[in-house]
Amino acid sequence: MKTIKIQDVENLGIQLGFTFGGRNFHNVSLGQGQEPIAEEALELSAHEGHWVILQNIHLVKKWLPDLEKKMEQCAESPHDDYRLFISAEPSADPHESIIPQGILESAIKITNEPPSGIQANIHKALDNFTQETLESCSKETEFKAILFALCYYHAVVAERRKFGAQGWNRSYPFNFGDLTISVSVLFNYLENSIKVPWEDLRYLFGEIMYGGHITDDWDRRLCKTYLIEYLKPELVEGELYLAPDFLVPPSLDYHGYHEYVYNFLPSESPVLYGLHPNAEIGFLTSTAENLFKTLLGMLTRTVSDTTVGEISREEKMKGLIEDLLDKLPEEFNMLELYGKVEDRTPFVTVALQECERMNVLCEELKRSLHELDLGLKGELTINPEMEILQNYIVMDAIPPSWEKKAYPSELGLNSWFADLLNRISELSNWTADFNLPSSIWLGGFFNPQSLLTAIMQQTARKNEWPLDKMCLYCEVLRKYKEEIISAPREGAYINGLYMEGARWDMQAGCIMDSRFKELFPLLPIVYIRAITQDKQDLKNMYECPVYKTRSRGPTYVWTFNLRTKERASKWILGGVAILLQV
């Protein structure tokens, strides 16, 4: 499999004498009634020895059988120079294909994979332009500097996705069309402005050209921050570092920019994207985990019921089920808990809601495990649901039926079950007398937002403040869980928070760079209380998103303001966040 694109075919055609001007090169983009034109081009090319490109054949699914027949007819006695090139986007489902088998079997398959690494991405970005492009603008110095910065920016946002959720919360289809349109807009604005309209350009690129793909607010903030860092007057003055040790190039010709990247761009590293070097460890670890999960899945599907040692797979499964059922405690007695409650405060409401949701989850665990146990004993017929449950348990993964009623988690089944028991224990301790625990494990909630909202509700009731005029104040203490003896008079102490992309320095009392190989440092106790919005101080603060898991995105919980001595943009580019579970 090779990497290729339509432009490469056209360039090769020019070298070999097949061009549009010479009328021996035909390019047909399928869709909107272009099928008859494509058939005529095929017949003419097969007879005369021309080249044909049929683009986007995935758009004309019904016509593809006709195309297969036409290809067979043209292949009966074709001209020696006749060549047919076909392009299509991959199917959304990797197990399905709308392209007929005959076309696939008769074709040499070539894939257009995106370049890997920031250097390859910058070169590919520059390849979209020519020397004529660089010389086209009357403000040549400004145009060339900003064009190169846009190429670097495109390379960074496209390749950053390899770092998973720390790179982007969601995956976006950034493409070279975004880059070329941005450069066209740049040209028009520079030609029609006396000064470089930095703010206008940043808005157009960050909110429309690239930002038009973005659906997550935190990703939009990241996109805008890159442009704030790259597009500023120092860029034209040649004094801006796009990355540590990589100064923006001086005014060069087209080949000079390629040479500059070859000679001066530092070796591939997360630092080039604004990330901490630890991000590389996380990326490689995730890649290895996915590989082993795939291998384990293949092993599970192929293994038979033959004995492993002296215990059959069935006996092993029965042992696992028995172990899980034995460890699972009784559900919470909701009638008894409701009877205990004298004052239904917001905190008490949260505790009761969590108990109800835990009961629903535990009931599902007991029901499904008991049915599977009866199935293995021959007392019930094994159905597809039981088989799925059995396979997931063998793979140390959380079954889908449990996942639907549970909280987001990326743990394996054994770790997840131990985590579940810890959550039940925390709830049991809290509901024994409904007094607020000395410190609360925020990650142990199905709905962590409910506790944070309850803190505001409790304060609002006490002080008769309007809830919509309030916010949370976050203070990181110089203590850990073991040092906290009692709950605060107002608000709550929170434990079990982890940072990704940075760490909290207890002595300095602010965010600092992570230590090498320390991926998820634990935060000290965080004191959360409610204040009115007019008392909120955002100076020297980093608005840090809080997520339930490393997947981020839809697991967003809240925003905690953390003190910083560095500029907040450093932590934004570093993908710094608080995680409730690692």
**Residue 112 confidence (pLDDT):** 65
The amino acid that residue 154 corresponds to is H
For β-strands 556-563 and 577-579, DSSP reports them as unpaired
> Which token pair is 270?
């997360």
Q: Give the residue from 19, 42, 21 showing the smallest Cα distance to 30.
A: 42
Q: Give the residue from 72, 78, 89, 70 showing the smallest Cα distance to 31.
A: 89
Q: What is the pLDDT of residues 489-536, one digit of tens each?
A: 999 999 999 999 999 999 999 999 999 999 999 999 999 999 999 888
Q: Give the residue from 551, 530, 472 showing the smallest Cα distance to 171.
A: 551
Asked whether the CA dihedral 157, 161, 165, 170 is positive or negative, the reply is: positive
**Residue 311 confidence (pLDDT):** 55
> Which token pair is 383?
């159905």
Question: Phi first, then psi: what are they for 544, rounded to 5°?
Answer: -100, 120
For β-strands 526-532 and 470-476, DSSP reports them as antiparallel
**Residue 304 confidence (pLDDT):** 44
Please tell me the distance from the alpha carbon of residue 457 to that of residue 470, in angstroms, as a whole number: 9
The amino acid that residue 108 corresponds to is I
Please tell me the distance from the alpha carbon of residue 5 to that of residue 134, in angstroms, as a whole number: 23
For β-strands 51-55 and 83-86, DSSP reports them as parallel
Please tell me the distance from the alpha carbon of residue 252 to that of residue 249, in angstroms, as a whole number: 8
b/e per residue, 3-26, with b = 16+ CB within 10 A?
Answer: eeeeeebbeebeeeebeeeeebbb
Q: Reduced to 3 states, what is the DSSP secondary structure of residue 168?
A: coil
**Residue 306 confidence (pLDDT):** 45
Name the CA dihedral angle for 476, 478, 480, 483, rounded to a multiple of 10 degrees: -130
Q: Reduced to 3 states, what is the DSSP secondary structure of residue 98?
A: coil
Place of tokens 């809290």: 430
Q: What is the mean pLDDT of the chain?
A: 89
Per-residue pLDDT in tens (0 to 9) along the chain, 582 residues = 334 566 778 888 888 888 888 888 888 888 778 889 999 999 999 999 999 998 888 888 888 899 989 888 888 888 999 999 988 877 666 556 788 888 888 888 777 666 688 999 999 999 989 999 999 999 999 999 999 999 999 999 999 999 989 999 998 988 888 999 999 999 999 999 899 999 999 999 999 999 999 999 999 999 999 999 999 999 999 999 999 999 999 999 999 999 999 999 999 999 999 999 999 888 888 888 888 877 876 775 555 444 444 456 678 888 888 989 999 999 999 999 998 888 889 999 999 999 999 999 999 999 999 999 888 888 888 888 988 898 888 888 899 999 999 999 999 899 999 999 999 999 999 999 899 999 999 999 999 999 999 999 999 998 888 988 899 999 999 999 999 999 999 999 999 999 999 999 999 999 999 999 999 999 999 999 999 998 888 899 999 999 999 999 999 999 999 999 999 999 999 999 999 998
Tell me the pTM. Answer: 0.82
Place of tokens 């320095």: 505
